[in-house]
Structure 1
């Protein structure tokens, strides 16, 4: 058992990055606004995204290099496109996860009600930790965080389920423009944006450095544990939103502090007021871990991309990109932050409409000559991948045609 736990790591980092906004914010909001009506979307998007996420650790362990190195082999245009897309989205994504963490800090600690202040403080704390601890800190801490959050969420959902009235299981497709926009946002980060596959490949290589005997099979087991955890917890958060808020006429606030109060109330209404601090700290720790994970991953990926593109040497530095991301995130806090809900929705929609690109290049990479033949996806996985590309592309075209035409 101990040996198995030691081999877990990148998959739990994946779960830590994914469970944040997509679960605590989007899944609870889906339950509060639509009941269990969007459960189909949660399950389908997890199903169709699975191959593309799995290709990250598969490629890394099979070849000994990251997806980014593989992208470069597909052509300079691919790696340049990745660079541009990441620059375009990383500040919004980092701000979105950090502002939810800041809202929870306002609710829990009460030192200041200024959510921008908390956002800056949390960003600086994460940057400091990563500057000294780096991967080892993430690898060890995430195991405890995921266990604590999983237990508290399972218990809360179970107790809420036992106290509830009859549940309506009818599935719905939002008819309104606002509802459809939320559906796309919900799927955009469920369980996470597809570029996490790049992060996962980098984390897998870091894990390999520490465990030389780590195999592809063990890495995929680690990934599956993390992925299954995100699906089960996603369902739990939709259930909590449904059981506690659906039909009450109360929706989630777009204010960070008010949202945090409502989020913690989801748990305490089921577990009792005595659980306030336990649940509050669990939720805060989860979002803090997401903030920490994303602040590690984007700079790690950008430094590697800059190295591949042979950009100025300073741009190949992990610490340089942490500094850039910290400054950019703080700038968004001060100049662009007026509505948390809109910010989260923008970040998640951007992630969804770029998903077909990441899905396609991941599929081409692991199916082509750059992947050792015995590790390439089998016939079933290829069909699954093509179906996933059709699903993601279809919804993206539908969304763009609805809002841009």
Structure 2
């Protein structure tokens, strides 16, 4: 009988990785765009929405990590054992989300890079650079390099973002740049429902990221022995850090843009450009480089983790559907290359349609969130040593009800029943 691994400070630090990767994948569109837009349009009012979204989704993201640490195999295997129907739905949604999200995040990253570079370059060509760099890190470095890079990016991102907020607060105060005659809009009306739904739907990330994190846990355990306690600590560090960063980005929008009299852009790339310009005008021209660097680090980290994570889950899902015993490394490499190439193809050929594609991916992912939330819960109720009970169980039941009602609300809104 093997001895239980003792958790020490060294083992805790060594276990960090999958949770940080999850955070890096989450902070792209949901944080730097949605959270800052929430602050820019409604000030501090939607902070409660961000907190509730992170709170109610917490159990279902945690269960993905918990299931893998407890049973030794991926969340996808659990879906497959529940029934081919579930892994089939997941694979279809994941394949579509992989290429669309890769195209979206790499294009935004390339656009930010164009703001930083001292020379002019097309977004399309810079997308090649971003995707090529991401592929190189994934294919040449494998998980160990991805693990290290994600930690560096998240540490830099967190430090510079908090620094930027402190500078903004010291210059503008809690009220930010609100003009005396500014009339504060209320988000608590049907006209704002679409924005709130989008904000909460992607906060902190789509539910399939729990499966991505499960695959990263397995990859981590192949290079380092990780105990159950240390693995959960890694998850909590990543998840809680992501939730805090969402509020920090909300603060950036509230302090720098809210009430300034400038209409907030809703398109991602245009908004980031506007945000950088507004920040420079409020804090000082010297801050333009700082905020651009924050945005770039955020989106580049997201691009790397999106390409790697979706490639892992798609490769594993295909293996399960086909009934193969083991996924060969060459197949994973092929998934990385195909995901990146198709992502670039979408940027090149369907640039104008990328927005509707992302919205469709969001809708498809969000309306199935209660299904996979229930699946994640059912897996930790039926298997494993650490079965869910007490406060976490009741939080998950409340969260499941909340997500189901929210999905129904989303569908009825899209059908035009709330006018």
CA contact (8 A) 2:161 2:294 kept: no
Q: How does 1:6-405 map to 2 (within 5 A)?
A: 6-164=14-172, 167=175, 172-176=187-191, 179-212=192-225, 214-253=226-265, 258-265=270-277, 268=280, 272-310=284-322, 317-338=331-352, 344-368=358-382, 371-372=383-384, 374-404=385-415
Tell me whether 338-347 or 327-336 shows the greater mean CA deviation: 338-347
Structure 1: runs of 5 or more not aligned = none
Please, what TM-score do these two structures have when normalized by structure 1?
0.91
Aligned counterparts of 2:186 and 2:386: Cα–Cα separation in 1: 38
Aligned counterparts of 2:250 and 2:223: Cα–Cα separation in 1: 37
Deviation at 1:170, TM superposition (A): 9.6
CA contact (8 A) 2:165 2:248 kept: yes
Q: After superposition, give the CA deviation of every residue in 1:112-147 in whole Å (9 maximum; x if it has no partner).
A: 342222223312221232121121111111111111
Aligned counterparts of 1:266 and 1:224: Cα–Cα separation in 2: 34
Aligned counterparts of 1:315 and 1:350: Cα–Cα separation in 2: 30
Distance 1:103 1:256, change over 3 A: farther
Deviation at 1:262, TM superposition (A): 2.7
Tell me whether 277-286 or 317-326 shows the greater mean CA deviation: 277-286
CA contact (8 A) 2:346 2:354 kept: no
Q: After superposition, give the CA deviation of every residue in 1:8-44 in whole Å (9 maximum; x if it has no partner).
A: 1111111111111111111111111111222121011
Distance 1:33 1:232, change over 3 A: same
- For 2:3, the equivalent position in structure 1 comes to none
CA contact (8 A) 2:60 2:396 kept: yes
**Helix, strand or coil for the counterpart of 2:262?**
coil
Tell me whether 66-75 or 163-172 shows the greater mean CA deviation: 163-172
Aligned counterparts of 2:408 and 2:165: Cα–Cα separation in 1: 35
Deviation at 1:340, TM superposition (A): 6.6
Aligned counterparts of 1:262 and 1:332: Cα–Cα separation in 2: 25
Deviation at 1:379, TM superposition (A): 3.0
Distance 1:347 1:268, change over 3 A: farther
CA contact (8 A) 2:91 2:314 kept: yes
Aligned residues: CA RMSD: 2.5
Tell me whether 308-317 or 224-233 shows the greater mean CA deviation: 308-317
Please, what TM-score do these two structures have when normalized by structure 2?
0.88
CA contact (8 A) 2:66 2:232 kept: yes
Distance 1:216 1:171, change over 3 A: farther
Deviation at 1:392, TM superposition (A): 1.0
Aligned counterparts of 2:112 and 2:356: Cα–Cα separation in 1: 18
Tell me whether 337-346 or 374-383 shows the greater mean CA deviation: 337-346
- For 2:5, the equivalent position in structure 1 comes to none
Distance 1:240 1:346, change over 3 A: farther
Aligned counterparts of 1:390 and 1:269: Cα–Cα separation in 2: 44
CA contact (8 A) 1:69 1:308 kept: yes
CA contact (8 A) 1:107 1:260 kept: no
Tell me whether 13-22 or 254-263 shows the greater mean CA deviation: 254-263
